[in-house]
Every structure is written in C-alpha cells, then in structure tokens.
Structure 1
C-alpha cells in the first residue's frame, strides 16, 4: 500500500490528510485528535484508524510516519516522542519556537535514524516555483534586493492569537517568506533588524512585522507580514543588476512583470504563471520509498527559525541581531545602522 501515515491534529491536519491520501507511496493509515468531535469528523471523512492520544499512535508498531499538525509550542516534545519511537516525523511549519528546540530535534533525528521534515509546502506554490526556476537562469543578473509580503485584514484567532502558543502572523506566515527568501538568496542570513506593532486589533501577538535581513553575500531582503493592512503591497519585488521582477497580488494565479535592462534601456514583458504538479508529500514519498533527496530538511527549517527568533528579539530590543558571530564582535546584538 505505502508508508503507513497518521496525522495528529485535525484542524490544519485535515489538509495534510487529504494530500497524503492522494499521494502514491503513502497510505493514510489513521488520524488522531484529543477532541471527540474532531475524531468523529476524521472517522467520517478518512476512515481507517482513529486515535485519541499521541501515545496510542506511538504504541502502534504499524505506524511508520507521523505528521504533527498541532500548535507550535507542542512541536518539540511531541516530535521528540515520535522520533524516540522510531517514527519518521513531519511537522507543520514553523519548525519550533526557538533555535535550541530545533537543535534538540535534529540531534534526536540523528540518534534514532529517522526522517525529520517540516511542511514548507509554499515552495510548491506556482508563483514561487516558477520564480525560482527563472532566477536560476540569471535573467536579471546578480540579485541585490528583494521585498516579500503576506498581509491580511482581520485579527488572529484561537491559539494563533496567543504568544505562549507561538501565535502571531510573523511565526505563522513569516516562516514561509523567510524560507523562500533564504532559498533565493543562496546565502546564509547574517543580520536581522525588525519592527513590530499591535495596531488595529491590539492583540498580544503582533499585527505587523517588517523584518530586514542582510545575507553574507550582501543581499538585503525586506519581509512584511500584517493582519492590519487595509491595502495590498506587492507580493514580490526583486532587483538585479540587469533588471527586476515584480508581482502585485498574493496567490498562485496572475503574472510577473519582467524588466530587463540594457544600459539605460528597459524592456518590459509579462511572465504567465502556470500551476505545478505534485508537491511536498510527493517528495516525502519519494524520499522514504526510493531514497530520493529530501527537499525540506530540518537544517533549512532551523535557519528559518533563527531569523524568526532574531526578528522578535530585535523588535523587542530595538537592536539589530547578528546571526553569525564575528571575531571582533562577541555580542549578539548591535545598535541598528543604515546598512541593516
């Protein structure tokens, strides 16, 4: 049949379960949730085995892969338990709450010899997927600046509105944008400076974040996430030494504005966006069944967490946060400067 997979958490987990069920090489063996009504929903839609507790999933020797679609603050301890039971593990993004938690999970993965991956499925969004392909051909020369945004209008709800659970739009959706920026920058993040506010909805989690990331290769990236944006910012704004690429609206549909420069002349064109095929779970299946390379590694997801965490610390302190220690700069924070 395939790799016997159980999805834990039937909020966002329903999305995972549907994709797993449609992926060759994976078998949706069961679902798990502590809430009776969610278990009833899972039994009705997916059938198979239905578990009340993670301990019941771990105890089932038939289970090979566990998907943890649970609130962010629960990721680490639950993943440590599944990996200790020799279960391959997929976590919803973001990976964890702190870099230290990510390091613990990577160490457990290595100790127990299992797969650990994080659901950065936005790598397969059609706009990013094609953008990454185009930029690999160097159509606008070396990149030096990018701006990415993901914004909405309306407060966060349920546990996503609480700081202790890892809520807030920066960790929830900023994780995707940082992951995409890291892949396009092709360099390690070096420094982060961020500003956050709670305007409009006045929740304990931020309603706006602007983070500036400087990479080792000199690239600068500005990322906006907001739940209080009454109008839209460009989804993509990318500058290279021989042109630019821009996309106005969020979503997989639409087109890119593509500008190539020859001296002082600029030539404009549009690049249509076509939908892509199999996504994240197709790669999980290929990795576990055929040994193909894992597309989303825990190490990559840890780099995302380092940036997310640094941005929160920067916003709280007003300082830029150095992610890579310099021999003559033992402190991890320094006052913001114009080159950040």
Structure 2
C-alpha cells in the first residue's frame, strides 16, 4: 500500500457525516479527510474538530483545494449531477453517493465528463457488497436450485416520512432512495439485458409529493423475471430475497437463509406426459427427495467498497462497479419515472 488517498467531503450530513465518516474510521491507513464542505457552520466545526481538516462553505473552494485528491459527494440527490460535473471539470476523482444522478440524461452527462477528465468517477452502490446479496449469488451460482426462472426482491417498512426525501424537487422518493441499490441487485441477478419492463409507483404513507411505493418487474432476454418492490407503506414485510429455480427455492429474511431443493445426489425418474384418461390422482405419484436447510447469512467471500476504491485509484485495479452498470440503473429509474405520475 502507498500513501492514503486525500478526501474532500462534500456534504457533512446524514450520508457524509453519519455513514461515510463512520465507515472510514478503520480505513485511516487508506484514506485521510483533508477538507470538508457544508452550508451549515456547526457541521463544518464538527468536521474540523474530529479530523483537523480544512472546511469550506462553498463547494468551489473545496474543488480548488490542491490537497483534495478525491471528492466524496454526499450532498442532496438533486445536487449530485452538478457537483460531480464540477469536480470532474477540476480534474478530481469523484466518489458519488447514490443516486448517480436524478435522471438518465444527467447520468450520461457525468459519464461524458468523466471521459474528458483526468479524474475518475466512481459510484457508491455499496449494497452490492451486502452479505445477504453476496450469499444469494453464491447459492445461485452453485446450481443446487437448478435453472433460475424468477427472483423477488423486497425492501418493506412502514413510515410516515416527512423529510426532504419525500419531495420530488430534491430528488426524493423511494425510486431514488432505495431504488438504485435494489435495481442494481435486480440487474445483477437478472444476468441478461432487460427485454421488458413493467412499473408502478404510489404514495401510500409518506407526506410530500414523491412516491414511497415502487414496483418494478423486469424480464430479461434470457426469459428470467425479477420482481422488485420497495415500500414505505407495508406493515408486514416479505422476505428480502426469494429465488425460484427448477429444482428448489431460496428465501432470505433478516439474516437467515432458508433453502428447499431436490437432493442432487438422487436422480429424478424418467417421466412423459400421458394423454390418456386420468386416474384418481393428478399425475403419477412420485416421492421426491427434498433437502431443507436454514442457515445464517455468511458468504464465503466478502468485499469492502472503500478498499475496492483504494485499489482502483492507487493500484490501477478494476473497480467492481462499472459506470455502464450504474448508467443502466439510471435508465431503469428514468423509464419507471416516465411511466408514472411522479415525473417531477
């Protein structure tokens, strides 16, 4: 490892101070916060006290600081595109909190700016490294569930939310809040370009004018279906993951994985459809050999997005979240918005 990457934090609120700074506590050998920018003086004072860093009220001053190597954008969603463009124009690396932008068109502008900049753009789809998502992928890849034909993803809760993330003008709504994470999961699990898309947005429990209930069904060119639902209006949550295969099913709920699948060591009997007059049963009787397991979520391999970011910037390794993948997430988000009443 070489010297730590010098971070300038743009936005010291819930994401910047509450998440990014906390995650960096045990990464001080990789990153050091040298500057921070926020409109609120008390937040600037807190950053200066904790990190001994320079603080700025205006983002242009942060961007002009020669000590800042990487701009960590943790401002409101509606500001992400403008702040990312400003940083890239100054030749800085950018670590963009989700969403990458508020629209597909804004996201395209960011990618074009990155191609012209000496800096690199990285998107913080950190939920791609959640243990349950990683473990689900490992089970799918093992083949024990057989050919995967449908997947259901849910993030449910009930909250009469009333902050800025309920207001469309600021990039509010579940589609731009949990949406980038779960749509990214869905696209990764689809393992195919999207062939068909069906969407529905509703406001159920939150105030403001943005949606708090998102339903998206994606059908891949491989004929696999991903049904995802993100809602702040569901009082009894469904499993976070349900994966349906030709030989079994897997569900994940609150850190526990349940599987029921046909024993791969027991061959299935040969069967053919019988066009004759049926007997007293629906089809011929067959005793299937099922295996049932309930295990804690524990993927064989884990990742940390900050460590991946460091290796990409310092060591030139490929960042595992490609910009083209983040752009596809934004395309799905924009298509979903356009088909709804929540267009902003």
Q: TM-score, normalised by structure 2?
A: 0.86
Q: Does 1:266 align with 2:266?
A: no
Residue 208 of structure 1, aligned match among 201, 204, 213: 213
Distance 1:68 1:216, change over 3 A: same
Contact 1:237–1:244, Cα closer than 8 Å, also in 2: yes
Tell me the distance in 1 between the aligned counterparts of 2:39 and 2:239.
40
Contact 1:20–1:28, Cα closer than 8 Å, also in 2: no
Contact 2:100–2:107, Cα closer than 8 Å, also in 1: yes
Tell me the distance in 2 between the aligned counterparts of 1:192 and 1:141.
25
Aligned residue number for residue 293 of structure 1? 318
Distance 1:200 1:25, change over 3 A: closer
Q: CA deviation at 1:260?
A: 1.4
Q: Does 1:241 align with 2:246?
A: yes
Tell me the distance in 1 between the aligned counterparts of 2:253 and 2:64.
49
Distance 1:150 1:97, change over 3 A: same
Tell me the distance in 1 between the aligned counterparts of 2:100 and 2:78.
10
Q: Does 1:302 align with 2:307?
A: no
Q: Does 1:89 align with 2:94?
A: yes
Aligned residue number for residue 274 of structure 2? none
Tell me the distance in 2 between the aligned counterparts of 1:290 and 1:198.
45
Aligned residue number for residue 16 of structure 2? 13
Aligned to 1:141, what secondary structure does the other structure show? coil
Mapping 1:50-199, distance limit 5 Å: 50-199=55-204
Tell me the distance in 2 between the aligned counterparts of 1:139 and 1:292.
32
Q: CA deviation at 1:278?
A: 4.9
Q: CA deviation at 1:18?
A: 2.8
Distance 1:277 1:82, change over 3 A: same
Distance 1:29 1:83, change over 3 A: same
Q: Which ranges of structure 2 fall in alignment gaps of 5 or more residues?
A: 269-287
Contact 2:219–2:226, Cα closer than 8 Å, also in 1: yes
Tell me the distance in 2 between the aligned counterparts of 1:277 and 1:30.
30
Q: Which ranges of structure 1 fall in alignment gaps of 5 or more residues?
A: 318-340
What is the alpha-carbon root mean square deviation over aligned residues? 1.8
Q: CA deviation at 1:3?
A: 1.2
Which sits farther off after the overlay, 217-226 or 149-158? 149-158
Tell me the distance in 1 between the aligned counterparts of 2:245 and 2:150.
7
Which sits farther off after the overlay, 167-176 or 259-268? 259-268
Tell me the distance in 2 between the aligned counterparts of 1:37 and 1:162.
25
Tell me the distance in 2 between the aligned counterparts of 1:238 and 1:268.
15
Contact 1:170–1:206, Cα closer than 8 Å, also in 2: yes
Larger Rg: 2
Tell me the distance in 2 between the aligned counterparts of 1:222 and 1:255.
21
Aligned residue number for residue 257 of structure 1? 258
Tell me the distance in 2 between the aligned counterparts of 1:255 and 1:154.
24
Aligned to 1:164, what secondary structure does the other structure show? helix
Q: CA deviation at 1:54?
A: 1.1
Contact 1:33–1:39, Cα closer than 8 Å, also in 2: yes
Aligned to 2:340, what secondary structure does the other structure show? helix
Aligned residue number for residue 39 of structure 1? 44
Q: CA deviation at 1:274?
A: 2.9
